[in-house]
Amino acid sequence: MPVLTLFFFLSFLKICLTLQFCEDFCSPISPEVRFPFGLDGDGCGYPGFNLSCNERGQTILNLPRSGNFIVQSIDYQIQEIRITDPGNCFAERLLHNFSLSGSPFSTELNGAFSFLNCSSNFSISASLPSSARRINCLSNDNFTVVAMPTGLHGYLPPIPSCIVMENMVDVPVFWPRYPEGDSSLIWTTPDCGGCKLNGGTCGFKDAGSLDIGCFDLPSNDRGLPRSAKYGIIIGVGIPALMCIIGLGCYLCGRVRNYSRSHQSSSEVTIALANPPSILIGGLDGPTIESYPKTLLGESRRLPKPNDSTCPICLSEYQPKETLRTIPECNHYFHADCIDEWLKMNPTCPLCRNSPEVSSTATTPSLPSSASSSSLSARR
Ligand SMILES: *[C@@H]1O[C@H](CO)[C@@H](O)[C@H](O)[C@H]1NC(C)=O
Ligand SMILES: *[C@@H]1O[C@H](CO)[C@@H](O)[C@H](O)[C@H]1NC(C)=O
Ligand SMILES: *[C@@H]1O[C@H](CO)[C@@H](O)[C@H](O)[C@H]1NC(C)=O
Ligand SMILES: *[C@@H]1O[C@H](CO)[C@@H](O)[C@H](O)[C@H]1NC(C)=O
Ligand SMILES: *[C@@H]1O[C@H](CO)[C@@H](O)[C@H](O)[C@H]1NC(C)=O
């Protein structure tokens, strides 16, 4: 059952990868196949880059003149494909009909090798240069096949008990790797190495043409147009900023609620005397002190008979209390209350006239409508 699930998952993955990105594979452990390669003529490949799968889940490259090879790995960045012979004897393929002509591949380095067929009791180290190697897959108990780099101009001196099988075989190898297990082929067209290096996806620009392009580059200067970047900044940045502000407000509100609910009732007066307000700078001490004060006598005779309550703290004036009046508008308050107010607001809390600059009567209103309405109700 888990195997079946895995199978369906892999099939699904294969379909998704093929449809979306032209990425495919023959089995989970075989090399990833993507542009410029295509698998089984899926239309994803560049001409000459068709790969196929064999029944054992191996990835197969067909070279037009040489037949099938197993793909061991593909490096899309340096554009190199490592192939091996299905019979595990690459040297045998080299001696037969190995040719890259008709394919888009080449070798980075070719070596001219000589192949010798020597008798089995022949000692390589004693008779041949140290560069000679036994090719195990071609040798057996009765004879030993040796490969060694061909000397200058292909000259090979006669070697006792050996016959030359092939001289000057062009072997696609990275020196000093020997033509035994595998070979590395490279391709130069199409050139997708730079795209891969930058993290992009290489592919056909449009169907029906062989022009290639680099897509889905990660967001750097080459990747996204400026407008798209601004779009992302606006689309993501502003909502994020709003969220942060919203969260900040929420937290502030909670802190404020908390401290408000824990305030004792005796502090309400101070809270009212300091209503939250747009601070535009209050008056300095000497200016406040210059406003006229009135000390109430025992008779509580009020300067204005109808005003018996301080509009700020909403408590009645008591004998021996000190009142202060704001010049120009002639409103009275407890001196303590209006002093605190004027330290933060340069305007009269009732008529909003500024005692300092009476012309600037258009100052911002009290934000707390409740307190302002209760104040004006007592005018
Ligand atoms: C590669 O695949 C394409 C598309 O299926 C096909 O037209 C083309 O003949 C194939 N080439 C080889 C060499 O198999
Ligand atoms: C090349 O040789 C192999 C055997 O080594 C053979 O299977 C293949 O068909 C040959 N390819 C061509 C194009 O002759
Ligand atoms: C090497 O030579 C022997 C005869 O001396 C021959 O039977 C054998 O097939 C040769 N091996 C190869 C790989 O050609
Ligand atoms: C190697 O084998 C040849 C015959 O194949 C024989 O004449 C020669 O004596 C042998 N040499 C050794 C060192 O065994
Ligand atoms: C080697 O040669 C002997 C006879 O000369 C033969 O019986 C034997 O099968 C050969 N071994 C191989 C691996 O060909």
91: Cβ below 6 Å to ligand 2? no
Is residue 348 within 8 A of residue 326, CB to CB? The reply is: yes
Residue 15, pLDDT score = 55
Which token pair is 218? 């990660």
Residue 278, pLDDT score = 44
Q: Go through the chain and tell me how many residues it has.
A: 379
Distance CA 355, CA 292 (A): 12
3-state helix, strand, coil in the chain (%, to 5): 30, 25, 50
Listed by start position, the domains of the chain span 111-171, 285-377
* Per-residue exposure over 176-208, b if at least 16 CB sit within 10 Å of its own CB, e if not: eebbbebbbbbbeebebbebbeeebbbbbeeee
Q: What is the pTM of this model?
A: 0.56
Residue 230, pLDDT score = 47
Candidates 32, 35, 31; CA nearest to 48 is 35
In ligand 3, the atom with minimum distance to the C-alpha of 119 is 5
Residue 227, pLDDT score = 46
Strand partners, 84: 70, 182
Phi, psi (deg, nearest 5) at residue 93:
-65, -40
Residue 176, pLDDT score = 45
What DSSP string describes 225-243? Answer: -HHHHHHHIIIIIHHHHHH
In ligand 4, the atom with minimum distance to the C-alpha of 119 is 5
Residues 6+ apart with CB under 8 A from 199: 217, 218
- Reported as a single tens digit per residue, the pLDDT across 154-173 is 677 788 888 888 887 777 66
Distance CA 379, CA 306 (A): 9
Residue 269, pLDDT score = 41
Cβ atoms within 10 A of the Cβ of 357, count? 11
**Which residue's CA is the nearest one to ligand 5's atom 8?**
142
- Reported as a single tens digit per residue, the pLDDT across 287-302 is 888 888 888 887 777 7
Residue ranges in the chain modelled with pLDDT below 70: 1-21, 151-152, 154, 172-181, 219-280, 355-379
Taking CA 142 as the corner, what is the angle to CA 139 and CA 143, rounded to the nearest 5 degrees? 45
Is residue 107 within 8 A of residue 185, CB to CB? The reply is: yes
**Which residue's CA is the nearest one to ligand 2's atom 11?**
66
CATH superfamily entry for domain 285-377: Zinc/RING finger domain, C3HC4 (zinc finger) (3.30.40.10)
